[in-house]
Structure 1
Amino acid sequence: MPVHRSESSRGGHGKGAGLGLALASAVAFGGSGVAAKPLIEAGLDPLHVVWLRVAGAALVMLPVAVRHRALLRRRPVLLVGFGLLAVAGVQACYFAALSRIPVGVALLVEYLAPGLVLGWVRFVQRRPVTRAAALGVVLAVGGLACVVEIWSGLGFDALGLLLALGAACCQVGYFVLSDQGSDAGEDAPDPLGVIAYGLLIGALVLTAVARPWTMDWTVLTGTARMDGDPVPAGLLLAWIVLVATVLAYVTGVLSVRRLSPQVAGVVACLEAVIATVLAWVLLGEHLSAPQIVGGAVVLVGAFIAQSSAPGKGTGVPVAGGPAGAESGLPARETAA
């Protein structure tokens, strides 16, 4: 969907504010896995953590949904698709992956999404992509091979990697859906409204899947272990809902309104670095030297693929990371 920017927002002050908001969004999204993993290790099912995150964020964004209730009549397919893929699918797969593989690895696997989007554009939509974008995809795949140490027979849990890849595939569906109606001009749906209804629909879907009435609610009244140190579980949940979801999405949207989707997506590449560093400092998750190098190559590949992708005038989606942006909507881990 289009991003309308005033002349003042194109100025230096507007760009500086936009970069600050994009960085804040990357930090907020990057901290989701670090806060969620202790809750999972404390006894909560990954799906229950996802439900708590999405349902809590949907409750916070409920006033926004009421304000944009006309979207239910104008864009029902977009809202359902966004809720199923960008919210429920990405979050469920990513959090399930966290229970089996390190936070940094799970997030880096999700960075295959830009390459998968370009593959969709090239082979399904049969639109041309630049050689630089293709090079970025090759680099991302090669870096990922180093991250998972493919020469040692996949040192990480195979199911965990498949779940992370599922999150990346859900992001592809999100990018494709987000491109629908991007040339509608003033009639384009408001991105905040789409996010609010996406969270509500995602919460409804996850309620049926996660069955929160079977959750061990006592875990939330106790403490979780973060690299051996006790942390109140309620505090971790508050961070996931308010910071890693609501604040992350809102700052992502506002940053795109001040920047182009390409620039916001490039800044969002920092999310993987932030998540890996936080997991190292707070969770004690260490990566080997080849994995660190591979992660850097993944980020470089994502940077090249996103920054060299055609602009909105071509109708080709510009892929951001889990906290990136396309057509004015922040991508989600990502809802972790």
Structure 2
Amino acid sequence: MPVHTSESSAAGGRGAGLGLALVSALAFGGSGVAAKPLIESGLDPLHVVWLRVAGAALVMLPLAWRHRALPRRRPALLLGFGLFAVVGVQACYFAALSRIPVGVALLVEYLAPALVLGWVRFVQRRPVTRAAVFGVVLAAGGLACVVEVWSGLGFDALGLAFALAAACCQVGYFILSDPGGEAGGKPPDPLGVIAHGLLVGAAVLTVVARPWEMRWDALTGSARMNHTAVPALALLAWIVLVATVVAYVTGVLSVRRLSPQVAGVVACLEAVIATVLAWVLLGEHLSAPQVFGGVVVLVGAFTAQSATPAPAPVAPVAAGGPERELSGRRTRA
């Protein structure tokens, strides 16, 4: 009987973890769809990122206070999270949104799991499996279809560069070298890392984005979402509360119930969700080759990520457990 109870509890935990991971993917996937109308209404992409990060940091402030000793114990970890997973990924992703479709930007960003293998193989000089290499090849081929390389790149080159930069920021976060727990052996609470990382991101973006120069009046009116007027503040509330706070928190909780590999695979549904939402809500229709290429990119990302050799057991946050899940969203996006 105890064995049955334990198995039932484990199954329940996995089910809850999958549900949380799906909620997180849905929340992150809706960020670009809500942000693009704000950008098109006159807000600078950096200002939208600042509003998102600063608003989320304000909501998470009680958690930051609860873990107020964390910056003294793990300054490098928090700085890396703030610069890569918060500022870099989101700023580059939103900049890409201002020039190319949401689905294309996110699919390009999802080259990150494949790019990580290059770091593992050529910098860390660790072996990678043939399946992982095959995943990289699949992702690169799918990307060629997404950007319609046969027509001389059908999208804005700078927009594609921003999307690739977002992918590189994800890679930079994946490889943060902090392989162990704290001196006492206890890893930092991932929610505390999120809260302080958002504060770091908000501080950096305040200097870079110069929000005092923002068109604040754009938030008092409406933005156009596929010819439909939507209150700008409603879109901003979605970006802050759902696409950032809910997305990050549910992502962390899902990783605690699932392995990072399983949670990462579910997270890749974000690209599908974002593409479908952009199609329905923004009227951003993709051609058949682009849809096929997007599917190939995702399959390649799945293959590359699942085939990467598992690291030795280490602290969940420091070793890229919850953070790997977090930064795989983008963050972002």
Q: Indicate whether the TM-score tops 0.5.
A: yes
Query: In 2, Cα distance between the equivalents of 1:241 and 1:138?
Result: 36
Q: How does 1:4-153 map to 2 (within 5 A)?
A: 11-153=10-152
| Paired AA for residue 152 in structure 2 | G
Contiguous gaps of at least 5 residues in structure 1: 1-6, 318-324
3-state SS of 1:225 partner? strand
Q: Which residue of 2 aligns with 1:180?
A: 178
Conserved 8 A contact 2:132-2:303: yes
Which residue of the partner structure matches residue 320 of structure 1? none
Secondary structure of the equivalent of 2:229?
strand
Write the distance in 2 (CA, Å) between the matches of 1:175 and 1:68. Answer: 23
Q: Which residue of 2 aligns with 1:321?
A: none
Structure 2 residue identity aligned to 1:292:
V
Deviation per CA, 1:190-247, whole angstroms, max 9, x where unpaired? Answer: 1111111110000000000100000010110100000000000000000000000000
| 2:322 equivalent in structure 1 | 328
State the shift of 1:313 in Å.
Answer: 1.8
CA distance in 2, matches of 1:135, 1:221: 49
**Residue equivalent to 1:162:** 161
- Residue deviations 1:152-184 (CA, integer Å, cap 9, x gap): 00000000000000000000111111x523566
Q: Distance in 2 between matches of 1:80 and 1:234?
A: 30
Deviation at 1:134, TM superposition (A): 1.0
Q: Is the 8 A contact 1:9 1:258 kept in 2?
A: no
Task: State the distance in 2 between where 1:167 and 1:115 align.
Answer: 14
- Alpha-carbon distance between aligned partners in 1 of 2:108 and 2:55, rounded to the nearest angstrom: 26
Deviation of 1:111 (Å): 0.8
The answer to which of 180-189 and 233-242 deviates more is 180-189
State the superposition RMSD in angstroms. Answer: 1.8
Note the alpha carbon deviations across 1:16-38, whole angstroms, 9 max, x for none.
00000000000000000000000
Contact 1:143-1:298 within 8 A present in 2 as well: yes
Structure 2: 5+ residue stretches without partners: 1-5
2-side partners of 1:12 and 1:123: how far apart? Answer: 39
* Rounded Cα–Cα distance in structure 2 between residues aligned with 1:309 and 1:10: 29
In structure 2, give the amino acid aligned to 1:181: P
Q: 1:70 to 1:41 in 2, by over 3 A?
A: same
Q: What displacement does 1:39 show?
A: 0.2
Distance in 2 separating the partners of 1:9 and 1:274: 31
Q: 8 Å contact 1:9–1:15 — kept in the other structure?
A: no
2:241 matched residue in structure 1? 242
- 1:64/1:192 contact within 8 Å kept: yes
Distance in 2 (CA, whole Å) between partners of 1:72 and 1:231 is: 39
8 Å contact kept, 1:109–1:161: yes
Task: Give the direction of change, closer, same or farther, for the CA distance of 1:74–1:195 in structure 2 (3 Å limit).
Answer: same
1:4 counterpart residue number: none
Q: Matched residues in 1 for 2:143 and 2:235: separation?
A: 29
Mapped partners of 2:259, 2:181: distance in 1: 15
Output the amino acid matched with 1:193.
Answer: G
Aligned residues: 321
* Structure 1 equivalent of residue 291 of structure 2: 292
> How far, CA to CA, are the matches of 1:165 and 1:10 in structure 2?
41
The secondary structure found in structure 1 opposite 2:308 is: coil
| Alpha carbons of structure 1 residues 264 and 182: separation in structure 2 relative to 1, 3 Å | farther
Deviates more, 1:181-190 or 1:277-286: 181-190
Give 1:67 deviation, angstroms: 0.9
Residues 305 and 314 of structure 1: is their aligned pair in 2 closer, same or farther, counting only changes over 3 Å? Answer: farther
Rounded to whole Å, the distance in 2 between the matches of 1:144 and 1:9 is 41
Partner-residue secondary structure (3-state), 1:302? helix
Equivalent position SS for 2:208: helix
TM-score, normalised by the number of residues in structure 1: 0.92
